[in-house]
């Protein structure tokens, strides 16, 4: 079995058309047909069945496709790591991040790193809390910025970079808008604007309210920070957001107020896999991030 055969097989399986696969791969159609026939002879099964001019995977073909994709992904990762070891200053780093860290933390770190390592490239992937953790485990990304940092996953190594407070954001005409601080229970009769269920910031807000003896009345939901802030600005309710999400400005027609009781914090950090060695370029970036925030903390 050859990697070329797997490559041809995957292309035909995904396009369901031999001639289109041949055109995309810039090889003769007969060459693809021959290699797939050799692969089927070696396996002793039929991987495709014809449907007019198209081809469809057989039941065993679908199973083989899943394993073939895994094999090719592993080969791609191996080649990337070899390239990184041969030239650490020209590697490529796959970084994951959530929406709450996209506006300030990520650009700040990446721009500072690029000044020292201009030849290292980045591939960025935004995702939910659970997706980023699983993507690090499956090697889909090399590392991820997260908040809060998971503490109970034995396959993940988390490094806390800083801790920040969760603040209340409310319309500027809210009855409590003039307060310098407030208790979370003061908002028990308000409508809340939160992320949908499954988002970590929704869980943080929901759990904090529950611990104070009430469940938030969720009137509206938004899937990104701009949507959440916009709904609050429009008077649809109040919300709870990390302090770093207000780094540049507070949205128009809103005010942010610290919560003094209880104080709600979240850790923010970076996670890497615990059970495998990082490629040199990724290790360089990981060390840089830790040192960067260590220096930043001293100045603050």
Environment class of residue 58 by beta-carbon count within 10 Å: exposed (0-12), middle (13-18) or buried (19+)? middle
**pLDDT at site 276:** 82
**Is 125 domain-assigned?**
no
**pLDDT at site 133:** 94
CATH number of the domain at 77, please.
1.10.10.10
**Is 128 domain-assigned?**
no
SS3 16: coil
**What are the φ/ψ torsions at residue 85 (nearest 5 degrees)?**
-70, -35
Q: What is the pLDDT of residues 173-189, one digit of tens each?
A: 999 999 999 999 999 99
173 and 81 in a common domain: no
- Using alpha carbons only, what angle is made at residue 30 by residues 25 and 34, rounded to the nearest 5 degrees? 100
For residue 229, pLDDT beyond 80: yes
Binning pLDDT at 50, 70 and 90, where does residue 260 land?
A: very high
**Is 11 domain-assigned?**
yes
**Is 108 domain-assigned?**
no
Say if pTM beats, i.e. exceeds, 0.95: no
Q: What is the pLDDT of residues 36-93, one digit of tens each?
A: 888 888 889 898 888 877 888 899 989 998 999 888 888 887 777 776 666 666 678 9
**Is 213 domain-assigned?**
yes
Q: What's the rounded mean pLDDT across residues 262-283?
A: 90
Environment class of residue 247 by beta-carbon count within 10 Å: exposed (0-12), middle (13-18) or buried (19+)? exposed
For residue 275, pLDDT beyond 90: no
Point out which residues pair with 266 in neighbouring strands. 164
262 and 177 in a common domain: yes
Q: In the 8-state DSSP scheme, what is residue 142?
A: S
170 and 75 in a common domain: no
For residue 230, pLDDT beyond 60: yes
259 and 170 in a common domain: yes
The domain containing residue 226 runs over which residues?
162-266
261 and 168 in a common domain: yes
Give the pair of three-digit tokens for residue 50: 């014809």
Binning pLDDT at 50, 70 and 90, where does residue 111 land?
A: very high
80 and 174 in a common domain: no
For residue 14, pLDDT beyond 70: yes
**pLDDT at site 84:** 66
Domains identified in the chain, total number:
2
CATH number of the domain at 177, please.
3.40.190.10
**pLDDT at site 297:** 72
Q: Which of 166, 164, 215 is nearest to 187 (CA)?
A: 215
**pLDDT at site 85:** 67
171 and 256 in a common domain: yes
**Is 236 domain-assigned?**
yes
**Is 274 domain-assigned?**
no
Of 69, 86, 103, the last residue of a domain is 86
- The share of the chain scoring above pLDDT 90, in percent, equals 47
For residue 274, pLDDT beyond 70: yes
173 and 78 in a common domain: no
**Is 277 domain-assigned?**
no
Rounded Cα distance, 144 and 288, in Å = 14
Q: What is the pLDDT of residues 148-157, one digit of tens each?
A: 999 888 899 9
């Amino acid at each position: 079995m050859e990697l070329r055969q797997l490559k041809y097989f995957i292309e035909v399986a995904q396009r369901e058309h031999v001639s289109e696969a041949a055109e995309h791969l810039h090889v003769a159609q007969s060459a693809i047909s021959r290699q797939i026939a050799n692969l089927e002879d070696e396996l002793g099964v039929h991987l495709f069945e014809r449907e007019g001019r198209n081809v469809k995977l057989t039941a065993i073909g679908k199973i083989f496709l899943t394993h073939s994709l895994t094999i090719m992904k592993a080969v791609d990762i191996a080649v990337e790591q070899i390239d990184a070891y041969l030239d650490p200053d020209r590697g490529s780093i796959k970084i994951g991040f959530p929406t709450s860290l996209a506006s300030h933390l990520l650009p700040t770190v990446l721009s500072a790193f690029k000044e020292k390592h201009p030849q290292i490239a980045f591939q960025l992937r935004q995702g939910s809390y659970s997706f980023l953790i699983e993507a690090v485990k499956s090697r889909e990304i090399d590392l991820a910025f997260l908040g809060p940092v998971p503490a109970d996953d034995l396959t993940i190594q988390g490094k806390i970079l800083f801790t920040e407070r969760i603040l209340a954001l409310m319309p500027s005409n809210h009855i409590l808008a003039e307060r310098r601080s407030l208790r979370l229970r003061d908002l028990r009769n308000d409508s809340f604007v939160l992320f949908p269920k499954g988002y970590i910031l929704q869980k943080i807000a929901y759990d904090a309210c529950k611990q104070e003896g009430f469940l938030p009345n969720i009137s509206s939901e938004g899937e990104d920070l701009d949507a959440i802030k916009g709904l609050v600005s429009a008077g649809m309710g109040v919300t709870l957001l990390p302090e770093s999400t207000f780094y540049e400005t507070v949205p128009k027609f809103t005010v942010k107020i610290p919560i003094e009781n209880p104080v709600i914090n979240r850790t923010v950090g970076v996670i890497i896999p615990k059970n495998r060695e990082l490629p040199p370029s990724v290790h360089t970036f990981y060390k840089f991030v830790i040192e960067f925030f260590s220096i930043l903390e001293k100045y603050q």
